[in-house]
């Protein structure tokens, strides 16, 4: 369960710079949570930490803590059913949509946004985020 992912910390870590704000829905599978954060950290080698804005509140992820959870994959097809993901349709290419807060311009990276879905700024209650103009 995502709530139990070891790299999610409830408090702002000291001594690291939190460089990005990520918005994720609750109840994500471990694979999707990992895939989303992997994409965020992959885009910036110097990104030390990110804050994940859940509907229920923020959590913090430090790069090193997150990387420690990534284990090498096996290059095998495995036994029956083990490798179904290799042969299923589609490909996981997780990519965030960037939104800004109209109040202070803070940038949020939103994953898994349904068409027409509105996101509210976690810092400014009731303020709808707007799609970033540089997107």
**Rule CB under 8 A: is residue 46 a binding residue for other proteins?**
no
Residue 90: which H helix or E strand, with range?
none
Nearer to other proteins, 9 or 39 (CB): 39
Nearer to other proteins, 66 or 108 (CB): 66
Question: Which region among 66-74, 98-106, 109-117, 120-128 touches other proteins (by CB under 8 A)?
Answer: 66-74
CB 70 within 8 A of CB 99: no
**Rule CB under 8 A: is residue 41 a binding residue for other proteins?**
yes
**Rule CB under 8 A: is residue 102 a binding residue for other proteins?**
no
CB of 118 to other proteins, least distance (A): 29
């Amino acid at each position: 369960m995502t709530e139990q992912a070891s790299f999610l910390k409830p408090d702002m870590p000291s001594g690291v710079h939190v460089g990005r704000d990520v918005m994720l829905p609750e109840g994500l599978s471990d694979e999707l949570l990992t895939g989303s954060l992997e994409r965020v950290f992959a885009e910036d080698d110097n990104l030390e930490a990110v804050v994940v804005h859940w509907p229920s509140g923020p959590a913090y992820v430090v790069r090193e803590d997150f990387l420690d959870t990534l284990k090498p994959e096996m290059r095998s097809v495995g036994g029956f059913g083990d490798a179904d993901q290799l042969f299923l349709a589609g490909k996981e290419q997780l990519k965030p949509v960037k939104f800004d807060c109209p109040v202070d311009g803070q940038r949020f990276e939103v994953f898994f946004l349904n068409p027409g879905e509105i996101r509210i700024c976690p810092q400014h209650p009731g303020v709808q985020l707007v799609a970033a103009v540089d997107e």
